[in-house]
Amino acid sequence: MKYLLMLLTLVFVSCNSATNSKTSPSNDIGGEVDQNIEKMKNKVIIITGASSGIGEACAMAYAQKGSKIVLAARNLEKLKAVEQKIIATGSEVIAVRCDVSISQDCENLIEQTVAKFGAIDVLINNAGLLINKPITSMLDMDFDRIFDINVKSAFRLIRDLLPYLNSGAHVVNISSMGGVQGSSKFPGLSLYSASKGALAVLTECIAEELAEQRVFVNALALGAVQTEMLAQAFPGYQAPLQPNEMAGFIADFAKNGHRFFNGKILPVSLSTP
């Protein structure tokens, strides 16, 4: 009997220490849905481009998890409407008017986030601009605008948020299938696709640099989702996914994906386009 008790004690201690010594990008990894919801409570999430489409849907997905949410976009009226919907769920939220191509706006976004919530766990660089024009009609300023919003803003936000990112934080950059080398390309989307390709390579590079600090950076190369931007790129096309469906995937990936991926570009697509 004495030996049986010793054996049981040993098994219990070794199971416990195995669980505790597991290394994972963050402490919020849970198996069960309820556990996951519990562990996303109080996590601080910044979502750019949160006034509509996929960004708004991501914000609502996090509201269901009880996270602390920072909404950023240019249209404050739309942001405030999203903010009200989130407040109704009981989650904490702030809406910050921010043009991600303007450095002072980004500084203000960071200041307001840190003042309200402290350190950040998840940044979703989702704000995006699409210009649908043949290359012969594209202007220099179109190039600058599209790269400022789709690439430079992600670089700037990651760099300037770094001191405030928790160990184990996850940055998710929203790229596009158009930015994946070798994927189908479409007339009119040259600069948009090139910018999304640049964002993907930037993701790989920054992930490498930040690995030691345990900040994880991945890009999701999205396929078609039914939003205003899709209608602009492919008028009349019916996408196989609605924003809330894609947002559910993005929110789960931003929460857990850095256990399995870092510096990766993951295609998330059911269709072409």
Ligand X SMILES: NC(=O)c1ccc[n+]([C@@H]2O[C@H](COP(=O)([O-])OP(=O)(O)OC[C@H]3O[C@@H](n4cnc5c(N)ncnc54)[C@H](OP(=O)(O)O)[C@@H]3O)[C@@H](O)[C@H]2O)c1
Q: Is 51 in the site for ligand X (CB under 6 A)?
A: yes
Which residues are marked as active site? 192
| CA atoms 100, 104, 110, 114: torsion sign | negative
Distance from the Cα of residue 184 to its chain's centroid: 24
Select the residue interacting with ligand X from 26, 67, 91, 101 (CB under 6 A): 101
Torsion of CA 102, 107, 108, 110, to 10 degrees: 130
Task: Describe the crossing of helices 53-64 and 76-89 by its angle, rounded to 10 degrees.
Answer: 20
Q: Would you say 218 and 173 are in contact if contact means Cβ atoms under 8 Å apart?
A: yes
Q: Is 100 in the site for ligand X (CB under 6 A)?
A: yes
Task: Describe the crossing of helices 190-210 and 140-147 by its angle, rounded to 10 degrees.
Answer: 40
Q: Is 165 in the site for ligand X (CB under 6 A)?
A: no
Helices (H), 128-259: 140-147, 153-161, 190-210, 228-233, 243-256
Select the residue interacting with ligand X from 25, 43, 53, 191 (CB under 6 A): 53
Select the residue interacting with ligand X from 59, 73, 161, 207 (CB under 6 A): 73
Select the residue interacting with ligand X from 94, 191, 229, 254 (CB under 6 A): 229
Q: How far is the CB of 89 from ligand X (least distance, A)?
A: 19
Select the residue interacting with ligand X from 25, 45, 49, 62 (CB under 6 A): 49
Q: How far is the CB of 46 from ligand X (least distance, A)?
A: 12
Q: How many CB atoms lie within 10 A of CB 100?
A: 26
Q: Which of residues 192-221 bind ligand X (CB under 6 A)?
A: none
Q: Is 230 in the site for ligand X (CB under 6 A)?
A: yes
Among 188, 210, 224, CA closest to 258? 210
DSSP 3-state helix, strand, coil percentages of the chain (rounded to 5)? Answer: 55, 15, 30
Q: Is 168 in the site for ligand X (CB under 6 A)?
A: no
Instruction: Compare residues 99 and 252 and give the one whose CB is closer to ligand X.
Output: 99
Q: Which of residues 121-140 bind ligand X (CB under 6 A)?
A: 126-129
Alpha-carbon gap, residue 34 to 48, rounded angstroms: 27
Q: How far is the CB of 6 from ligand X (least distance, A)?
A: 58
Instruction: Compare residues 26 and 265 and give the one whose CB is closer to ligand X.
Output: 265
Select the residue interacting with ligand X from 92, 99, 142, 160 (CB under 6 A): 99
Could you tell me where the beta strands, DSSP code E, fall in 33-137? 44-48, 68-73, 93-97, 120-125
Q: Would you say 248 and 231 are in contact if contact means Cβ atoms under 8 Å apart?
A: no
Instruction: State how beta strands 44-48 and 120-125 pair.
Output: parallel
Select the residue interacting with ligand X from 131, 189, 207, 224 (CB under 6 A): 224
Q: Which of residues 79-98 bind ligand X (CB under 6 A)?
A: 98
Binding range to ligand X, per CB under 6 A, among 16-24, 45-53, 164-172, 181-189: 45-53
Residues making contact with ligand X (CB under 6 A): 48-49, 51-55, 73-75, 78, 98-101, 126-129, 149, 174, 176, 222, 224-225, 227-230, 239
